[in-house]
Structure 1
Amino acid sequence: MLKDKILNKDVGIITYAITPPKQGNSKEKIAEISQRHVERIKNIDIDGLIIYDIQDETDRLKNERPFPFLETIDPAMYSNEYMKDLNVEKIIYRCVGKYDDRELRESIICDSQKDKFSVFVGASSQDQEVRLKLSEAYSIGEKLEDNLTVGGVVIPERHTKNNNEHMKIVRKTNSGCKFFVSQVIYNVEASKNLLSDYFYYCQENNIEMVPILFTLTPCGSVKTLEFMKWLGINIPKWLENDLIHSNDILDKSIDLSKNIFEELLDFAMDKGIPIGCNVESLSVRKVEIEASIQLVKDVKLIIENKLKLHPEIAPQGCKNWNI
């Protein structure tokens, strides 16, 4: 069960993430898209399905968006009405700034799952107008229901700039977050620096670390690469060069992603940090979506092989290591 794995702080939680269809689609088109989602996901062994809630981030960056922003249907509604036949726990992202107090409560209450999971997402920039602050959302989530497990967002790239992302994890944990999901990572050094600071701060202050799921995605074209950079994903120059000049940019990105996660997993397991993996496709191209499904299977095999070398941590995670 996903909830048990999160609360036990297990190593190797693995999820897959999707974005709901665009609001402008007909009901028939939405049903068609959802059926494709179900068919792709039903045969992969994952702990949870993340359903994103996206927001326009043009106020965060001045550069023109490579792909146009189009509103998607509500992720909670998509889960309840279109993903109900998929037998896997759903993790609903909620951009809390677009809700008021009542709307957020109703969205959570309407979740049809017995155990409910939600990742609360704050404003994309200080200039964005919001109806509900992230701190207020955490307070609502903490008081609303015992069966709601709240997660937070972590961005390793921010740590490179501000060196305080680990403290955001600690503060959000104190506000009720039980797990975290990262933005897509392609810079292993940024992620290791974050994990290192998080580990030593927790060790010095006798704090139990919570699971962090690092997000991977295939990159199958230069267009996708441009979109990743616009989103703020830090891609080292050498890695960008390797992708652009490779014979097959998609295969190269998958190999790089697997190597990055394996290096992170080795680093984390050595210190007892309970990390896992989330996989998504930033592109709607069939070849990139199918590659993301294969990436889930490959990462799962990496995790299983590492846990075989450390059978003592497989059932209960890293909860008490080095603390």
Structure 2
Amino acid sequence: MFLEKIKAAESGVMLYGITPPKTGTSPERVTEIAQKTIERLTGLDVDALVVYDVQDESARTAEERPFPFITALDPLTFAADYLDALSIPKIIYRPAGKFSNEELSTWLEELHEHNFYPVFVGVPAPDFPVKTSLSEAYKIWSKHQTTSVIGAVTIPERHNVLNDEDARIVEKMSSGVSYFISQCVFNLDYAKRVIEDLALRCSQQQITPPTVIFTLTACGSAKTLHFMEWLGIHVPDDLKEELKTSEDILEKSVRLCLDIASALTTFCMERSMPFGFNIESVAIRKAEIEASIHMANSISQMLKDKGVRKALKVRDESPISQ
């Protein structure tokens, strides 16, 4: 169970991340998308499903957005109304600052009723008017701390610039945050640096390290690669060149992600850092969705082979074919 694994700081946590259908999609089509998602994920060896809150981050940068921004359905509504048949826990992203204390409290109550878990994220731009600070949001959530866990986001790229991600993480831990989901990792050195500095800080302060869950995403085209960089994901020049010149950019990106997962597993185990992976599937192309399923299965098996993830209990459902 996801809740127990996080509370016990157990390594090998596996998540799968999706975005809801776009706003304006007919209820019939939303039902169809949800059913395909359920069929795809039933029997997949993951501990929870992440449902993102899609925000327009255009104000964050002057560079033109590679893809037009399209609003999406509310992630809690999509998870509660359409994905109920998927028995794994749901993790719902929420930009706390966009809502008042009362709105956030009501939302958390509904979340708790469904046994979902929140991840609070920042607002889309630095000058966005904040209604509720993150510290206030954590206080509102604290009434559920005995029966729930709350997550936050960590950004290795930010640590490379500001060199304070470890301090940010520890500060959020003091507010009750027990696990952190990273921005998509393509720069292995950036991710390692966060873990190295966080392990050292936790050791110095004699506190138990939190669980760090690394997000990995397959990249199916040069345009998608450009979009990832627009979002602030740093892709080292050598990897970028490998992807752009490969005959099959999707296959190459999957191999790179699997290599990153293996390297981070070894690195975290050596430093006794609780860790896991979040396999992100936000594309609509069938090949990229299938690639994400393959990645989830491969990384889950790798973790079992290394002894940090228990074998999946036998279920009634048939395993997903690859």
Partner of 2:30: 30
Distance in 1 (CA, whole Å) between partners of 2:184 and 2:130 is 25
What do the CA deviations read for 1:157-182 (whole angstroms, capped 9, x no partner)? 10111100011110011011011100
Structure 2 counterpart of 1:21:
21
Are 1:149 and 2:152 matched, yes or no? Answer: no
5 Å matches for 1:1-323? 1-111=1-111, 115-144=115-144, 146-307=146-307
Contact 1:9-1:210 at 8 Å conserved across structures: yes
SS at match of 1:55: coil
**What is the identity percentage for the equivalent residue pairs of Structure 1 and Structure 2?**
40
Identify which range, 297-306 or 104-113, moves more after superposition: 104-113
Offset of residue 207 of structure 1: 1.0
TM-score where L is the length of structure 1: 0.93
Alpha-carbon distance in 1 for matches of 2:231, 2:184: 9
TM-score w.r.t. the length of structure 2 is 0.93
Q: How far is the alpha carbon of 1:5 from its aligned partner?
A: 0.2
* Equivalent residue, structure 2, for 1:318: none
> What amino acid maps onto 2:280 in structure 1?
E
Q: Does the residue aligned with 2:150 lie in a helix, a strand or coil?
A: strand
CA contact (8 A) 1:220 1:250 kept: yes
- Which piece of structure 1 moves more, 13-22 or 132-141? 132-141
The C-alpha deviation readout for 1:74-106, integer Å capped at 9, x for no partner, is 111111100101010111111112211121111
Structure 1: runs of 5 or more not aligned = 316-323
SS in structure 2 at match of 1:148: coil
| Residue 319 of structure 1: aligned partner | none
- Separation of aligned partners in 1, 2:214 and 2:145: 27
Aligned mates of 1:269, 1:64 — CA distance in 2: 40
Aligned to 2:213, the other structure's residue is in SS state strand
Q: Is the 8 A contact 1:10 1:314 kept in 2?
A: no
CA contact (8 A) 2:111 2:117 kept: no
The runs of 5 or more residues in structure 2 that have no matched partner are 312-322
User: Root-mean-square deviation (CA), in Å?
Assistant: 1.6
1:124 Cα offset (Å):
3.1
Q: Secondary structure at the match of 2:170?
A: helix
